[in-house]
Chains A and B, each alone.
Chain A
Amino acid sequence: MDQKIKNIQQKLLKELSLTKNITQLETLSVNYLGRKGAVNQLFQSLSSKEKAVHGKDLNQLKNNIESSIKESKTLLLSVKSKKKLDITIPGIKPPEGHLHLLTQAIEEVEDIFKSLGFVRRRYPEVETDWYYAEGLNIPKDHPARDDQETFYINQNTVLTAHTSNGQLREMERVKTPPIKMINIGKTYRRQASNTHSPMFHQFEGLMVDKGINITHLIGVSNYFAKAYFGPDREIRLRPHHFQFTEPSFEVDINCSVCKGKGKKNNQACTVCKAGWLELGGAGMVHPQVLKNGGLDPKQYSGFAFGWGIERIIMMKHQVTNNLRNLYLSDLRFLTQF
């Protein structure tokens, strides 16, 4: 028996000395320790009486083999590869996809307002005159229609030039406030210029409840400004006029380049107007609009704002030249983002 054990050990040592790599070592390990390996075969060949006598020795043999193999493995692993890899070789990249800057911005806006408890909605891009204008307190022959540069399908159907059509629709849908909506959509303006596209995107915020006041609009706008543009940014309101809000505001955001000073290196800041940039319009929902949406202005008040997605992209990335670039289909542009 002892001789048999000795033979196995000697054979192992010989074979180990010839082993050149891990694969060979693993085969070796199976040959000795596997289910049909040398140790097991020897064990199986014994009668149960012999097993009782030599079991201990065989166990010892198994342990010895295991530690020898482990030793060899450590040795093999410590041998450094002779051929050095050229680590400067460029990697092979998988094909990459790109979501459009507009999609990225829309998702960001949606997330920011979601964290304030607003819900994203979608309302028609092709809309009736009522939801688009008349219901928003803009009568048919009102001069305010001049500013809208609207595309018409027919007398009563327009392509929305703003996302505010969602206001009445959301009031009608919810019926009983609170309302916290963010409506993001495509908008169209009949404007021919090198820097404007006839199609663009807006996001419309609407909040209506009991006791909503102007400071809440400032709060939500500031939250957005800090979340989207950076914690050191803030907004201010200036007077403006919209038919569907009263009071109405222009929302400005402080300039990141000159830090709101309007001057950099003793020269007028090239990005902003006197330290501030226009973000877009806002206001307290006009009582007539609340009425048109089926809500009682004596009970409820609210604020609304409508800002441009392209505009905030350009402000954030300090691209001041051309909105139309965003509608290029050139991959050399689109794959930058």
Chain B
Amino acid sequence: MDIKLSHKLLSQFLETKATPKRIASSLSLCGPTVDRLHKIPGDTIYDIEVITNRIDSVSAFGIAREAISILPQFGYRAKLLNNPYQLTKKDLGALPKKPPVKVIIKNQSLVPRFTCIALKNIVVKPSPKATQAILKNSGLRPLNNIIDISNELTLKYGQPVHVFDLDKIGDRTMIVRASKPGEKILTLDKKTLTLKGGDIVIEDGQGNLIDLCGIMGGGLSHIDKNTKNVLLFVQNYEPKQIRKTSLYTQQRSLASQIFEKSPDKEMVLPVLIRGVDLIKTRASGTISSNLIDIYPQPFKPHFVKLSLKWLNQIVGITFKKQLVINILKDLGFQVTSTPDMLTCQVPSWRSNDIQIKEDLVEEITRIHGYFRLPSVLPTSMLENTTTEDILATESSLKHQLLNLSFTEIYNLSLVSKRLFNQAKISINPSLKLRNPLSKDHEYLRRSLVPSLLQNLKDNQNHQKKPLYLFELANTYLPRGERDLPEENPTLVMATSQISFRQHKGLVESLLNNLKIDNLKFKPFKKDSLTWDTAASALIYSGSKYLGTIGKINPQVSNNFELKDQVFVTNLNVSTISQIKGSTYQAHPLPKYPPVIEDITLNTNLKIGDLITKINKTSKLITQVIYQDSYNNKHTFKLYFSHPEKSLTQKQVNQIKTNILKII
């Protein structure tokens, strides 16, 4: 939560010689972060980030309380002023007997503390200029003296306050209850909200809902220029219900953000007393009723124990005992101790936040200053630090692709249905976000191919050279409703302006470099909308399916407005990782030079099958290199060699004759 704090307001609670700049830098190092400091005429404004568990410091007083512990660590004396916790009911003076309103609380757990008091002879008018300036500088709009007082109290003490026009409360009766589903309430800003039920509301004696408690006041009982009698109303509400209501009604008011974080119940009455004082001085009101303070379970402090030895262990330095005790006392703890053990009574405003000894470690060490701690390298070592196989495979694929002149792309995993439609790949089954930001990023992609086609399209106009693109990322496939999805590392290579043979060569080179051999390219068994099946193949290593290579279906190419010949390969990286060879095997060089001869064969056979057949003809053929083709005539360069002797021309000719016989 971010707040704007006026230095003038802070100075009402903090006496110090430290400048705002020094205060800001010291707070940031040891307490709440001051993101920025604004100098404005007559004041300085701190932009402060208040972390969720420190709702006690969301106010001028709360920050002052932090400052008096922190500033002395930087050599500044600091004193807390106007501490509201010293106020008691007695400070209100003698009170009339009459209660301000009749109160019926249907469900006490919704309102842990309920206080209110009535004031009469109110004069509604604008607030003094200085007050208006402070409100404006804190990001609030001045309205009239009464509303401004309630806002000022929140800024000062972090306790939201509401003021009703007493004469608008039907029968001067308040029934605090949980709302019923479908009930409607008119709020201060003239909106009608329909409630889901369970929300904390107040009904008056005539059946009107006059307050959506802790979220926003009702529109029926607000202060206007004719208001004469007011009900000053300070409460503590059940935090979870406040949060629920404020989330679904989307009313993230300052009040609701405070109430949902369990502010201090002990602050309720002091704030009411300060409120009465302000209404007296600024609106010439006088108290016209008794005080109502319903507080069935008053605060009882709890204790947390801390061993000094353990503290030193976990922080890594040796604290002086007295320093620890001083820090805790400055923060409001009451401490008793034995030589090693501190017993700390937690102050009311920290009762939710400080529960375990680790919480005390944080308090002591941050005030002392984390920045003062030394830097030490830990010495524990693992017995084995081998990288997971899949991570090693991904890394080696990426580096091979780099060598093969590919450029890597990172696309968002979140895609649109439209993109998949363009690629004629069904979006389902895939994972759909329940709360997407937009239709463009609604699904987790089950294929990388559409993204890469889009990448080709996006680059084709400003790249005249062939494109070599790849992405290696997870694809996602749902399993059962209760199971997490499959996350499959997938590699897609996409090229343009190169031939099928060149593209295939890149894929073969990539896989061979990972020592995956026995590659087979088999025709599609089924038709495909995405691939041009006449120019595409399924890739296997032996019987293991690795992926798909080929030309994109012309219709898909057209959908992406691709101008050039595009080939794409889609590979399953997990399978590659499972079957890749791990170590190099060295082969000795042949002792006798090979005989190298060309052969041209006239046949209908496919070239790949032809190469297999040639290889099978004789063990003395060590390499078959395809040269070129003219119609059905295919030329190969053949290497003949024998491990133990030089071959004669006669032997070579015999093998060549055998090849011709087989064809």
Contact = CB atoms under 8 A, between A and B. Distances in A.
Interface of A: 94-100, 102-103, 107, 114, 116-122, 124-128, 141, 143-144, 146-147, 151-154, 156-157, 159, 177-178, 180, 186, 188, 190-192, 197-199, 207, 209, 211-216, 218-220, 222-223, 234, 236-241, 246-250, 273-274, 284, 286-287, 301, 326-327, 329-332, 334-335
B244 A141 contact: yes
A205 B316 CA distance: 19
Given A151-B435, A236-B370, A248 B362 contact: yes
14 contacts: A117-B380, A117-B385, A151-B435, A157-B484, A180-B381, A186-B473, A198-B414, A214-B315, A234-B375, A238-B370, A239-B366, A241-B53, A241-B54, A246-B358
Contacts of B476: 126
Which of A222, A234, A331 is packed against the most chain B CB atoms within 10 Å?
A: A331
B329 interface: no
Given A114-B385, A141-B243, A334-B408, A214 B316 contact: yes
**Top 10 closest pairs, chain A to chain B, by CB:** A247-B362, A215-B316, A213-B316, A237-B370, A95-B405, A241-B51, A97-B402, A246-B358, A216-B378, A215-B376
A103 B408 contact: yes
Q: Taking chain A's interface residues, is the majority helix, strand, or loop, or is none over half, making it mixed?
A: mixed
Contacts of A234: 375
A120 B387 contact: yes
Contacts of B441: 198
A241 B412 contact: no
Contact of A107 (B395, B411, B444): B395
Contact of B406 (A97, A186, A197, A287): A97
A289 to B, nearest CB: 11
Contacts of A335: 407
B129 interface: no
A201 to B, nearest CB: 9
A120 B51 contact: no
Interface stretch (B72-80, B460-468, B627-635): B460-468
Interface of B: 25, 28-31, 33, 35, 51-54, 240, 243-244, 260-261, 313-317, 356, 358-359, 361-362, 365-366, 370-371, 373-378, 380-382, 385-388, 390-391, 395, 398-399, 401-414, 431-438, 441, 444, 454-455, 458-459, 462-463, 465-469, 473-474, 476, 481-482, 484-485, 487
Contact of A120 (B375, B388, B436): B388
B328 to A, nearest CB: 15
Contacts of B314: 213-214, 284, 301
Given A154-B434, A198-B437, A215-B315, A287 B382 contact: no
A334 B408 CA distance: 8
Contacts of A301: 314
A117 B387 contact: no
Given A117-B381, A284-B358, A331 B403 contact: no
B225 to A, nearest CB: 37
B315 A287 contact: no
Contact of B484 (A124, A250, A286): A124
Contact of A152 (B398, B433, B465): B433
B361 to A, nearest CB: 6
Nearest to B31: A239
A278 to B, nearest CB: 9
A219 B51 contact: no
B484 A96 contact: no
A199 B373 contact: no
Given A103-B398, A151-B435, A213-B314, A122 B391 contact: yes
